[in-house]
Amino acid sequence: MQGMRWLGSIKRRGWLSIWLLFAVILMGGCAGGSPAEGEMEGETVPDDNLIVVGVSQIGSESVWRTANTASIQRVFTKENGYFLIFKNARQKQENQIKALRSFISQRVDYIAFSPITERGWDTVLLEAKEAGIPVILIDRKVKVRDDSLYVAWIGPDFVNEGRLAGEALEECLKRQGRQEESIHIVVLQGTEGSTSAIGRSRGFLSVAEEHKNWNILEQVDAEFTTAKGQEEMERLLRKYENIDVLISQNDDMTFGALEAIRKSGKKAGEDGDIIVISFDAVKNALKLVEEGSITADVECNPNQGEYVAEVIRRMENHENVAKLNFVEEQVFTAENVRERLEEE
């Protein structure tokens, strides 16, 4: 059985070489056919011993996403025994589905992808399963009728992240002696239907429900981008005069929102007008934690490439693979941020 799987894999790799050779010949005839930045396709015909991994990334919407992509590209190199076919879906699920189908027709050994939203994957994942290609989910999850359509998921505990943000707000209000005061909160959410937005919202709400004096004025989708974060925060500041707290589900939206707050003449920070709590903990945001305009930043670890490689290594050795694999993270405040900044 094990031998068969291995033979099957060699066979698949052999087919892939032929397919790629064909693709390279075809591409040679196409003008302007060079792959977009960060993509590697039909580069060279891989050596048959390399493990071929097709990765479909959501896009490049955030600094976090760029770090996540880099961690994947760092691990899946020829030196490490892999041939990576990387595709950037530019924020469109239909592009991800197309990428997955192209990986299936190329008979890659493994597919890894970060699903933009949770729904809509049953058909394509069934196609992968029928082709015998194991699928590994990175960062976000899928909601499918049959969980055997993917072998493993690697990512953060988003509900816990949301809860940590709620607890950071509790502590901040305690420091300010405002536990009884009526607190008005706005939430900038990430991409609607994504695991990260769903989990962070759910976790934060579970803490908010325990405080009758916390009033959520509005929760709005700002798509995890700086531009949308700024636009929505400007709108919210025009609509509500009394915003005490901003919960922003990633640092990029926070950067935009801070600009909106600054332009409105208000001051962000525990000693200012609006308490800001963010997620991801990218370097430039951590500098703002130190400087005080962000009160707490809940880390989301983007370095998931190593974990995916470990799942693949285990599968190649026919070892058991855990279905859910959580990455570790922590919360940064003015108290502990210096140490992390010095590490980078």
The smaller minimum CB distance to ligand GYE, of residues 42 and 305, is found at 305
What tokens appear for 69 in the block?
């992509």
> Nearest-CA neighbor of 226 among 248, 254, 195?
254
Which of these ranges, 9-17, 56-64, 123-131, 172-180, lies near ligand GYE under the rule CB under 6 A?
56-64
CA angle 231, 235, 240 (to 5 degrees): 145
196 binds ligand GYE (CB under 6 A): yes
161 binds ligand GYE (CB under 6 A): no
297 binds ligand GYE (CB under 6 A): no
Residues forming a β-bridge with 185: 216, 245
Whole-angstrom distance, CA of residue 24 vs CA of residue 22: 5
Whole-angstrom distance, CA of residue 199 vs CA of residue 279: 12
Written as one string, the DSSP assignment of 265-306 is: T--BSTTSSBEEEEEE--HHHHHHHHHTSSSEEEE-----HH
Question: According to CB under 6 A, which one of 56, 250, 293, 301 is a site residue for ligand GYE?
Answer: 250
65 binds ligand GYE (CB under 6 A): yes
> Nearest-CA neighbor of 45 among 15, 4, 1?
15
Question: According to CB under 6 A, which one of 82, 86, 224, 307 is a site residue for ligand GYE?
Answer: 224
255 binds ligand GYE (CB under 6 A): no
Q: 75 and 45 in contact (C-beta within 8 Å)? A: no
From the CB of 277, what's the least distance to ligand GYE, in Å?
A: 13
223 binds ligand GYE (CB under 6 A): no
From the CB of 235, what's the least distance to ligand GYE, in Å?
A: 21
From the CB of 93, what's the least distance to ligand GYE, in Å?
A: 14
* Site residues (CB under 6 A) for ligand GYE, limited to 123-152: 139-140
Whole-angstrom distance, CA of residue 137 vs CA of residue 30: 33
- In the complex, the residues that contact ligand GYE under the rule CB under 6 A are 61-62, 64-65, 139-140, 190, 194, 196, 224, 250, 252, 279-280, 300
